[in-house]
Amino acid sequence: MQLRIAILEGDDIGLEVVPEAVKVMKAAAAKAGLAVEWLPLPIGRAGHASHGHSMPQFTVDSLKTVDGWLQGPIGHNAYPRGDATWINPPLRKIFELFANVKPVKSYPNIESIHKNVDIVFLREVTEGMQSGSVTFAGTGEFRPNDDITIGHRVITRKGSNRVARAAFEIARTRTRKRVTAVHKEPIFRLACGMFAEECRKVAQEYPDVSFDEVLVDGFAMKLVMKPQPYDVVVTTNQFGDILTDEGAGLVGGLGLAPGLCIGAHQAMAQATHGSAPDIAGQNIANPYAMIMSGKMLFEWLGHQRGLPEAVAAAAAIDAAMDAVIADARALTGDLGGSGSTRDMGDAVAAAIG
């Protein structure tokens, strides 16, 4: 079976880190004997230049034909305001990529608050307080008059169940096989209550995975004090938005924060960091998060499609990154090395062999 993966470089440093991720993924695919068709597609400034829109319909239609894609960061903060042809492409919503998977991993020789941290967060991203709705636009809030603002939160059994199920499936592939659900049921008895109910239901279907629950405020404290016991953490949209950045801060920051948005049949590899226009074009951007997002895409597709070659390719990237970080010489400056963006990508690709 051949995978079809699209490449969307995005803006600013996306033009530098995405090619490094693709370089590494191609090396891993070759080593594992994985057949991949690569499909470059325009988005962001390149999309606007070629098709008059930062999210061309051509790109959207083409994405319907692929297994997954890499999306580089979008420089939407610099896009002209009030022009509907310049938008932050909402691919996550268009393709109903319901869970944002964000691993947090520490390395012995990279400065961080904690060591021996290895957590995978799953954040539901189609509902909650940041999803918007057919009633209220944007983030689900409106202002009936100048003195009152009202926000709302949508939680569904479908959304809660599928993100919980994704968490348990990921936990099954890990050594510790543990899922922690984070919520605030004692206060939000209906909204967090529904999320917690669905997590408990799903847990009964996975007797091989241990399950526990922690209230969000207590979890935030425990994450700072002692994050090591946690394995796979699943939570709702806004709680996850905050906790995943907290988790990244524990191990060195957003430069070490890869991500994968998963749906029922497709996934999007997308690093957590932004487009960093201040360092664009200088060949100093850290490609770790984009490379490891690509690794996650291979791993997810391998399990979803029953492709051991894709799982092997992901494992090869993981081992190569560990080796490059341990050696340290090719790392970018933010990680304590003296290498460039290309140096680090070259080193990881070379370590794959």
- Determine the average pLDDT of the residues in 85-102: 93
Give the residue extent of every domain in the chain: 1-92+257-353, 113-251
If pLDDT is split at 50, 70 and 90, which confidence band does 14 have? very high
Distance CA 107, CA 267 (A): 26
How many of the other CB atoms lie within 10 Å of CB of 96?
Answer: 14
Distance CA 42, CA 161 (A): 34
Which two tokens mark 108? 């012995």
- Same fold: 1-92+257-353 with 113-251: yes
pLDDT at 137: 42
pLDDT at 139: 59
How many of the other CB atoms lie within 10 Å of CB of 2?
Answer: 10
Residue pointed to by tokens 């990237």: 317
pLDDT at 136: 41
Please name which of 247, 210, 14 lies closest in space to residue 123, comparing C-alpha atoms. Answer: 247
Tell me: the pLDDT tens digits for 290-318?
Answer: 999 999 999 999 999 999 999 999 999 99
Instruction: Reply yes or no on whether the pLDDT at 180 is more than 70.
Output: yes
Superfamily of domain 1-92+257-353: Isopropylmalate Dehydrogenase (3.40.718.10)
CA distances from 112 to 117, 186, 333 (A): 10, 34, 15
Distance CA 99, CA 262 (A): 5
How many of the other CB atoms lie within 10 Å of CB of 283?
Answer: 14
Which residue(s) pair with 331 in the sheet? Answer: none
Residue pointed to by tokens 């597709």: 301
pLDDT at 131: 57
Phi, psi of 277 (to 5 degrees): -60, -20
Tell me: the pLDDT tens digits for 111-146?
Answer: 999 999 999 999 999 998 765 544 444 557 778 899
Question: Between β-strands 267-269 and 260-262, what pairing exists: parallel, antiparallel or unpaired?
Answer: antiparallel
How many of the other CB atoms lie within 10 Å of CB of 282?
Answer: 12
Question: Between β-strands 178-183 and 232-235, what pairing exists: parallel, antiparallel or unpaired?
Answer: parallel
Instruction: Reply yes or no on whether the pLDDT at 256 is more than 80.
Output: yes
CATH class label, 113-251: alpha beta
pLDDT at 141: 77
Residue pointed to by tokens 């990921």: 170
pLDDT at 151: 83
Tell me: the pLDDT tens digits for 81-93?
Answer: 888 999 988 899 8
If pLDDT is split at 50, 70 and 90, which confidence band does 152 have? confident
Distance CA 239, CA 315 (A): 30
- Determine the average pLDDT of the residues in 24-45: 97
- Is residue 303 within 8 A of residue 169, CB to CB? The reply is yes
DSSP one-letter string for 259-296: -EEE-SS-EEE--SS---TTTTTSS----HHHHHHHHH
If pLDDT is split at 50, 70 and 90, which confidence band does 48 have? very high
Give, for 38, the enclosing helix (H) or strand (E): strand 35-40
Which of 39-53, 131-145, 273-287 bottoms out in mean pLDDT, i.e. has the lowest?
Answer: 131-145
Distance CA 80, CA 146 (A): 27
- The percent of residues above 70 in pLDDT, for the chain, comes to 97
